[in-house]
Every structure is written in C-alpha cells, then in structure tokens.
A and B are shown apart, each in its own frame.
Chain A
Amino acid sequence: MNMIVTPASPATPNGTTRPQVRIVIVGHVDHGKSTLVGRLLHETGSLPDGKLEMLKAVSARRGMPFEWSFLLDALQTERDQGITIDTTQIRFRTNSRDIVLIDAPGHAEFLRNMITGASQADGAVLIIDALEGVRDQTRRHGYLLHLLGVKQVAVVVNKMDRVDFSDLRFKEISDEISAHLQGLGVTPTAVIPISARDGDGVAERTDRIGWYKGPTVVEALDRLEPARPLEALALRLPVQAIYKFDDRRIVAGRIESGSLIAGDEIVVMPAGKIAKIKTVESWPVTPVAGRQGAGRSVGITLDRELFIERGDIIAHADAAPRETRRLRARIFWLHDKPLAKGDQLLVRCGPKESRATVVAIEKAVDPGELESRENKAIGRNHVGEIDISLSNPIAADPYTENPRTGRLVIEVSGRIAGGGLVLSVDAGQRAVPVDIVPVESALRPDERSARYQHNGAVVWLTGLPASGKSTLAKALERRLFTNGGSPILLDGDTVRAGLNSDLGFSAADRSENIRRLAEVATHLARNGHIAIVAAVSPAREDRATARRIADTAFREIHVATPADICEERDPKGHYKKARAGALASFTGIGNDYERPEAAELVIDTSTRTVAEAADEIEQMLKTTGVLFDEVVDLAANI
C-alpha cells in the first residue's frame, strides 16, 4: 500500500530549484516522533488526497482511536510491534525549503538505523516528552548527532498538553538539554514547546503557549541551511577504480572536497607520487573543460603512468593529506561484542581499506549516562576513543581539517560494526611530497628503441624454486645483449640481498618484495630496457599487482617444470632443508604455488634445452611487439 507520495519535486518544470535540506527526527522512544511527523505532513499539505480519511476509517474498523503516528506505520510488522522500525524518507515543503525527512526511530534496539539516517542529515530535531524530561536515549542521541557531525539541532519539548502548557516545566527541560548539547559543542537553533497531537507550536503559536516567542517547528525547519559547501577545502579525490575500457587509463572517483582542473599538479597519496592532470573525461561528451568541484563523480587521466590503486587519495601537491599507519579516532560501536584492546578489525577510510589492530582504548562511555564511567572495552551502542595501528599505510586527515576524509568505518566479519571521526594522524617518516620532483629522461623512447631494436618490457619469470628461472633468465640476457639489446637481470634472491634486505617471508613481506621488484623493473622498461625478473612470486595477487604496475610492458612466463623434477635438481639445497624442517615458509613443499592462469608463455624446462626455451621466449617477445623483426627500416624510427 502507498502511504506517502511526494508532491515536492525539487526540479520544477521551469528549472528553478529550492534548497533541499535533509533532516532527522531523533529522541527517546514514545516521546512522540511519529506523531510529530504525521502532524507535520498534515500541516504542510503533504498528504495524498483521502489518506487521512482512509486511515481514520482503518482505525475505526480496527476499533482504535486515530493516531497521527498511523501515517508512518506503513508496515504491518510495525503496527504489530507498536514501534516504527526503520528509516523512512518523507518529503514536504516549508516556505523556502524542500525538507527530506529521514524518520529515525527512537527504540534502543535500532540505534544503527538512527545512525544510518542521521549520517545523511543536514539538521536534526531532538524530541523530548515534557512529562518524562531528558532521558538516557535523549542524551545518547544528542551525543551521536555530535559524533556524526550534525551541527543544526532544534529541540522540541512535546506533549506540553500533559503538563498544562507550563512555562516553568518547559524552562527546566530547556535548560537541561541546552547544557548537555552545549557540553558537546552543539548549540540548539531553537527549543520549542509543542503538542504534536493537538498542533500547538508545530505550525502555529497558539494561545496555550502564548508565553513562547520563538519559532514554530515549521519556521525552525525553514531556517535550516543546506550542507556546507566543501569546495573551499583542499582537494581530496579518493580513487574508486582505474578503468581501461579503451586506450584511456581513467582514474575514477568522487571529489570529496576542493576542486580540480586539467593541468593541475597532483600528488597520489599515500605513495607520494607526482603527476599532472591531463584531461577530465566524461560521457557522452569528452573531455570536459572547466573546473570540477566537490561532490562531482569524475574520471581523470594523468600525464604519466603511475601505479595507482583503489583507495589512494589524489590531492594538490602543496596540500596533501598525511600518510600514516597510526590513527586516533572517536568512535561509536554497534556490534554485539564489545571492542577491546588487541582486537583485529577492518578499517575503511573512503574506498581505502586496511586491516587494523586496536592498540589502546583511551575512553569508553555510555553517552546515555550522566556520568562518564571509564572502561576497558567499548560496549554496544557506546562511544569511545581508540588508537588504531594499520597494516597498510593510508592517507587521512583529522576531521577538524576535513570532515569527509577525516572519518572512518570499522567492519567486523564483513559487516559495518562502528564508525567515527579521525582525531589525529601520526604522520610517517616519508619525505614531504612537495620535495619530490620526478626528473624525466632527456631521451625519447624511440631514440632508445632505434638503438636497441626493442621496446622496453618487463619479462617476469615465475615458477617453483629450481624450476630453471635463473638459468633461463641468464640465457635470455646473453642472447638479447648479443643482438645489441639492453637486457637487465633482476634476480629475486639477488635483490633480496640488497634493496629488499629488510623483508622476510611473511605474506605481507612477500607482497612488498614483489611490489618493489615490479617498480624497479617498470622504471627500467619505461627507459627502453628489457628487465628480466626471475622470482618465485607464488601469489597470484602479487603477480597481478606487478602486472598492474608494469601495465602493457608486462610479459609473464610461467616456468612450469614439474615439482618432483625441481626437488630432484635442488641446486641451492633448499628442498632438502625444507624437508628437514629448517625452512618453514619455503614455496614448493610448504606454501602453495598459485599457477598463472593467463601467462604469455608456459615453459617446461624438463622437456627442452635451455637454447630451445630461449628461442621460445624470443619468439613470444617478437609476436607481442617487444622485439623488432630482423629487417627494420631504421628511417621509420627516426
């Protein structure tokens, strides 16, 4: 059945628009939220024709007196339970505003729904029963409004008819809630005495509240300001994805703050790599000129190929977010199991995710209680301040500097379990990115390829230990060099002895090992050399990262010598040690090697000679455009 239709249409036929303000109504259960909403819809002429009469008829059929809250009780399950159970978005108009009302229910069980609603709101109405006064849930909701960053809060003291419209009772409640909210840094925009059931104070100042001189609820809503523009802040473009549907490499995301335009110098955080925006892509017309501001979902291309990942943040080089592995945050917790020191979590900051550990719980309170009790763990529906250590570096801002990139959510078992504000960021030791100025080579790629007779490439040899990777790599290196080319060998073990000597053999360290190899190899390839990488690289995910980094220059060769033959060869004695239990994380017998699914070439060295295998690699490099054919018109390359 249809309960609410929307006569409000923000885009009117003649193209004019009215400011739209999203509000949430919060407060203790039974303090009259649904009644207020029903009354507001009626007072603003927002009910469908006949709806009121229909509901009155339904009430009569069920032998119940009509209640304004019936308007919202659209679901049978709700009527059965006697509580509104979830966020409903309803629209109505005041004089100068289109109001989107996110009806957040007050039942304690459904705090997560209140948060879902309030996180989208520009303003809030906090409702208090004049008879019952300020309750736990009232305080808790006030606290959450503060945590969620809702600054415009109007307080209504409802059911004034139950206290004979006493101005003294009103003042008592008004003082108490104002003090509570101001303690959180929130100044109420108005405190309004009303009777939602009878209509006093909702759209009209009736005689019964003749002593009250402030705005009515409708007037207070009309004064709410739409969300503050974020464009004045520094540029933050969190990367959602990199698309290569055609020959463009488009970095896609939504501008959370600031603005950008083609030609801007940008830095990709947390890596700190520098580039320039080449174009802003769009559809159906592309590229687009002009500045793009906060709120736009955009796609940009850069003037150079950088390794960029989902979750990176693009900023202007002189105003970048901090790179960190350590955060302090003020959070609210929604999970059944209390959050404790040492807990393992998943933290999301925009599209970025990182595994994390709770290093310390500094504060844990029930915001509903008057006195703060310090606890070791943060219970369900409570708030607290925590120290988090992240397993991957992320780019973040304190929320005081940027409300969009200064907030995070916490997931437990794939489900959102909490969220909060970043209080402070421990900056890493990375050089300030503005000092990093990549120097472009003085040589053009075609000058090099004319000399070497090949394009730059990353030839990646993956396979079990002793499968023959290093032997093949050396043979290939010799052959390319003999033909006048510029091969450079990057052997996994050799690089581990120097550049990667700080890394061990955990999954994370192996990933980092591969990332560094890929970055170095890609740099060589970009400068026209053929980087030959020989590394076990057992994880498919890590090789996929290497391919992303090297991009079109990547040629994967799976050296697929059978495992038993590899173990039999064992030139470095690793298999023997591993069998004896002295090499715990040795790929081949302990760890699983994940075979490539789409390598450019697969070679089994047990069935061919080294020279034959090198022939096959050379052939593959020719057919995939790395090596030029013997007869090359040199003039064509000049």
Chain B
Amino acid sequence: MHLLKDNSGADGRDSQAPVSQQIPVELTAPSMDHLDQLEAQSIYIFREAFARLKKIALLWSLGKDSNVMIWLARKAFFGRLPFPALHVDTGKKFPEMYRFRDHYGKEWELDLRVEPCPPIDAVDPTLPPAARSAARKTEGLKMALGKYGFDGLIAGIRRDEEATRAKERVFSPRGLEGNWDVRDQPPEFWDHFNASPPQGAHLRIHPILHWTEADIWAYTKRENIPIIPLYLAKDGKRYRSLGDQDITNPVASTAKNIDEILAELEQTKVPERAGRALDHETEDAFERLRVAGYL
C-alpha cells in the first residue's frame, strides 16, 4: 500500500513556512486508487473468513493469482498466514513451480501442506482427456478435505477469467460431495456473506473474485511480489496461466517484464486461459468440472 507516502510531510516541509503551518495536521486522507480499493476489499473478505469459519486453508496453486492472494492474506493478518497453505499436487507441474514452492514456502513461513492426487484411472472416464487430467485435482482436493475437515477453502479464482467463474459468489457453498449448485446460490450483498455451510459441507472463499488479470499484474509489480519466471517471454513465448505441464501451452509474446505484460494485455483480445487445453474441449467441459467441485 502507498500509506507511507503520507509521512513525507515531516521531512519534506518548507523550512521557510511559518511555524503554524509546520504542524502536520492532515484533514483528509489520501484518496484510494483502484488497486487500494481492490486490496481493501480482499483484506475484508480474508478477515471475514477467518472470523466466521472454524477451520480454513488457502489453496496455493503457485500461480500469480494465488501468490497475490498470499500477499493479501499477510496484509490482512499483519505478516503471517494464520492457517495452512494447501498445495494439491498433481505431480505434473513445471520444475520452476516446485522450486518456487519450496523456496517461498519457507521464506513466507507458510504452514505448507502438500497433498497428492489419485491416479488418472480413478477419474470419470467420460470426460475429455485434459478435463479428465484436471479432474484429478478435484479428487485430490476432496481427499484433502476429508483428511483435515476444513469448513472453508480459500481459492484464487477471478470473475474475468472464465464465464462460469463470473457466476460465483465470494462465499460459495459446496455440497457434501464438494459440488457447486449454480442454480441455487444464496443472495450475497453489502459484503454480508453466507458463512454457515451445512454439516460436512464446505465453503469456497474467493477473496480476489473482483480482480482482473491486469489488476493482478499491476499489483504484483507495485508490491514487488515474486513470480515464477515462466510468465515472462523466452524465445517469443510466455505462459499467461500455469497448470499441469502436459495440458498448458505458452502464448506468443515478447513481454520480458511486468510493464510489458501490462502493455500486452492492453492490446490483446486473446482470452487468458487460451493456453489451457481443458477449456476448449467441449463447450461445457469447464462447467461440468466446476459443478463437480473444480476451482
């Protein structure tokens, strides 16, 4: 946050000014820019989740969105994550992602829980190949839920990434099987969230639902949040979104730093998840996954 800037008056004041003007009386607060507003809203959501649920965890996918999420949580709780960070590991991520996890898991003092996914044979065989691969993660998530008994999982999805995600609530109830009933969602207004999942069910909490891809990058830059280098262009290609190695493809890009990524996003009309194979298999593959409990 820019809060420190307000302090500059103490050092930078004009020594010629009359004494009465030297007293740093501030009558108005500095106005909040767009990122300040997003940040404040996310912090509010984190604090509500922590206050109203009994046992929560943050789903850390290692991507840009969930790293921003961890940063926001540390802002909300003054430097620490007072609940576990859960990495549901398909075992098929990029080596850079594992290195990132091991390094920052320690540096950020996360209570990191790495949970495995079941083998591919255990997954609905009627799904197209990439969706079936992604569905492993849903199964891994269900196993982790059963193991720890979380009543809330914090996930870094955004409304702008994908049309079905646009339907989401901030506090989104999941059924006993972890499934999402898109047609029977409770109303959510004035930042009042439905925080009472039925016994045995759980809530998904979405603290960055209102952010866009460009917001994520602008904030990552402003706060100097570390990123996995795969997001930056190498040999004319970069990853906009990171998933399993075998079902994620890079997009053509020359963006070598965050400023260039932002400039590229200004121009592009290619969807963010264009490189994610599972989004393109059939028109409803993604929704079927989400109804079954995918993120």
Residue positions of A touching B, CB distance < 8 A: 1-13, 17, 20, 47-49, 74-77, 85-91, 112-113, 115-116, 119-120, 148, 231, 240-241, 243, 245, 248, 250, 252-254, 259, 261, 281-286, 288-297, 299, 310, 334, 348, 351, 407, 409, 414-416, 419
Among all A-B residue pairs, the 9 with the closest Cβ atoms: A290-B6, A293-B29, A414-B196, A9-B214, A74-B163, A119-B189, A2-B271, A112-B187, A297-B43
Nearest-CB distance from B107 to chain A (Å)?
A: 13
Residue of A nearest to B39 (CB): A297
- Tell me if A5 and B269 are in contact (CB < 8 A): yes
Residues of A within 8 A of B39 (CB): 297
> CB within 8 Å of A: which residues of B?
1, 3-7, 10, 26-37, 39-41, 43-44, 47-48, 50-51, 74-80, 82, 159-160, 162-164, 166-167, 169, 182-183, 185-190, 192, 194-196, 210, 212-215, 218-219, 259, 262-263, 265-266, 268-274, 279-280, 283-284, 286-287
CB neighbours of B40 from chain A (8 A)? 254, 295-297
> When the two chains form their complex, are residues B218 and A116 in contact, meaning their CB atoms are under 8 A apart?
no
What are 12 residue pairs bridging A and B, where the CB atoms are less than 8 Å apart in the complex? A2-B273, A4-B163, A6-B212, A9-B213, A9-B262, A13-B259, A87-B166, A91-B160, A286-B78, A296-B29, A334-B187, A407-B190
Q: Which residues of A contact B266 (CB under 8 A)?
A: 7, 9, 12-13
Whether A76 and B192, one on each chain, are in contact in the complex, defined by CB atoms closer than 8 angstroms, is no
Task: Determine the residue in chain A with the shortest Cβ distance to B159.
Answer: A89
Given A115-B187, A416-B186, A7:B78 Cβ within 8 A: no
Selected contact of A9 from candidates B1, B29, B41, B215, CB within 8 Å: B215
Q: A85-B182, A120-B189, A252-B47 are in contact. Are A7 and B79 (CB under 8 A)?
A: no
Please name all residues of chain A whose beta carbon is closer than 8 Å to the beta carbon of B26 when the two chains form the complex.
Answer: 261, 290-291
**Docked-complex contact A2 and B164, CB < 8 angstroms:** no
Beyond the given pairs A5-B270, A250-B78, A416-B187, 13 more chain A to chain B contacts, judged by CB atoms under 8 angstroms and listed by A's residue number, are A5-B160, A9-B218, A13-B259, A17-B34, A74-B164, A76-B287, A120-B189, A240-B44, A284-B74, A288-B4, A291-B6, A296-B40, A334-B187
CA distance A261 to B24 in the complex (A): 12
Inter-chain contact B265/A113, CB cutoff 8 Å? no
Q: In the docked arrangement, what's the CA distance between A335 and B70, Å?
A: 36
The answer to whether A11 touches B33 (Cβ under 8 A) is: yes
A9 touches B212 (CB 8 A): yes
The reply to whether A49 and B51 form a contact with Cβ atoms under 8 Å apart is: no
**Are the CB atoms of A9 and B265 closer together than 8 Å?**
yes
Is A288 a contact partner of B7 (Cβ separation < 8 A)? yes
Residues of B within 8 A of A5 (CB): 160, 268-272
Let me know if A415 and B270 touch, CB within 8 A: no
**Prevailing SS type, chain A contact patch:** loop
CA distance A252 to B51 in the complex (A): 11
B260, closest chain A residue (CB): A13
Residues on B with C-beta less than 8 A from A294 are 29
Q: Closest B-chain residue to A258, C-beta based?
A: B29
Instruction: Name the distance in Å between A19's Cβ and chain B's nearest Cβ.
Output: 9
Q: Bound state CA distance, A299 and B279, in angstroms?
A: 41
Q: Report how far A462 CA is from B203 CA in the complex, Å.
A: 37
Residues on A with beta carbons closer than 8 Å to the beta carbon of B192? 348, 409, 416, 419
Select A243's contact among B31, B77, B185, beta carbons within 8 Å.
B77
A334 to B43, CA, bound (A): 29
- A11, B214: Cβ atoms closer than 8 Å: yes
Assess the B190–A419 pair: CB atoms within 8 A.
yes
**With A5-B272, A292-B29 as contacts: A415 and B78 at CB distance below 8 Å:** no
When distances are taken between beta carbons in the complex, the residues of chain B under 8 Å from A231 are 28-29
Contact A1 B6 (CB under 8 A): no
The reply to whether A241 and B51 form a contact with Cβ atoms under 8 Å apart is yes
- Measured CA separation A1–B272 after assembly (Å): 11
With beta carbons under 8 angstroms apart, the residue of A6, A47, A285, A415 that contacts B196 is A415
Q: Is the CB of B190 within 8 A of A119?
A: yes
A243 to B43, CA, bound (A): 14
C-alpha gap A74/B75 in the complex (Å) = 35
The answer to whether A49 touches B194 (Cβ under 8 A) is no
Partner of B78, one of A74, A112, A243, A291: A243
Complex Cα distance, B193 from A240, in Å, reads 13
Asked if A293 and B31 make an inter-chain contact with CB atoms under 8 angstroms apart, the answer reads: yes
Among B30, B39, B186, B268, the one with the most A-chain Cβ atoms within 10 Å of its Cβ is B186
